[in-house]
Amino acid sequence: MRHLLLVVSSLLLCLNSLAQVRTITGKVIDNGNKTVPFCLVTSKDNKVGTICDENGKFSLTINPDSVKTLVASCLGYEKKEIMAAKLPNEAAVITLKKEPMGLNEVRVQGKKGPIELRVLGKKKMRHSGDCYQRFGDEDAVFLPSYATNRGGTLVDAHIFITDEGEPDAKFRVHVYEKDSVTNLPSTELTGANIIAHANQGNEWVTVDLSSKIIPVNGGVFISIEWISGFGNVQTAFASAKHSEVSDHNGQVLGLTFNNYGIKYMYHRSLLDQKWRFHYVPYLCPMIYCTYKYMK
């Protein structure tokens, strides 16, 4: 009898736990009724979250007792908070307003002449390693400019993606200012949802930034956010090339030996938005930019 009571008690606890969990499926759209691809949907305390797919669809499992408010956010749109209890379990719709369009102000101090192109970082890099990450991870590297009196604005970013996993899966590109106190990535400079992808892998992906009017100043952080991989699922996959890697499901960013003054990168994850120093001895991400300035 005692054993039976224990079994019944365990079943009741399991049923009670299941009753406390609900899964919300739906989509995120803008105020023009167009879907918002790769929007971030999290709880307000960032304990649970997911990224919409390219059609703005999402599925998120929450505990209603602990998750009261959800937050939907995407570059180029105003952040929105929603009471979780007001969303249905199926066919939920979250609408975001587009942020006003505006170009960054760039001051040109009376210089006139031919436009010159220069490289930020190092263009000639040799693939020496792989950066395996998970769905929702973001890696940033600072590309310094030593000609601060030259000014200029970014033209494009170049990112080397390997052929591991699904090289044609999409990723988001960010450009950040460098915080003068913490030296961490700070203000986002793109103001737009910039999505890119490789094709076959082991190739440079070029991302056009010329329309964003992003000032170079003393340098910028370029980051890659892994928003889509293996069907946008969080199931871990093993590397086909390195048996010790068994927990990645994003694309794989190439690494090179540090040869242009950069010894490390910074990392943050979907549910922990704090930037952390990500030490990779002698290696750094294979990312460089070009910028233009008035000679």
Mean pLDDT by 10 residues, the chain (295 residues): 43 50 95 93 89 92 94 93 95 92 49 80 89 88 81 94 86 94 94 92 96 92 84 74 83 80 78 83 88 85
One domain, residues 31 and 73? yes
Domains: count for the chain:
2
In the prediction, which pLDDT does 241 show?
84
In angstroms, the CA 20 to CA 9 distance is: 17
One domain, residues 128 and 209? yes
Domain that holds residue 30: 19-96
In the prediction, which pLDDT does 196 show?
93
Q: Are strands 252-257 and 283-285 parallel, antiparallel or unpaired?
A: antiparallel
Are 71 and 43 a contacting pair, CB within 8 Å? Answer: yes
Q: Is position 23 within any domain?
A: yes
Q: Residue 192, SS3?
A: coil
Q: Is position 154 within any domain?
A: yes
One domain, residues 87 and 192? no
Query: Which CATH number characterizes residue 33's domain?
Result: 2.60.40.1120
Query: Which CATH number characterizes residue 211's domain?
Result: 2.60.120
User: For residue 165, with 0-12 CB atoms within 10 Å meaning exposed, 13-18 middle and 19 or more buried, which class applies?
Assistant: buried
One domain, residues 190 and 90? no
Q: Which residues of 226-235 are buried (b: 16+ CB within 10 A; e: fewer)?
A: bbbbbebeee
In angstroms, the CA 143 to CA 60 distance is: 36
Joined tokens for residue 173: 């590109």
State the pTM of this model.
0.85
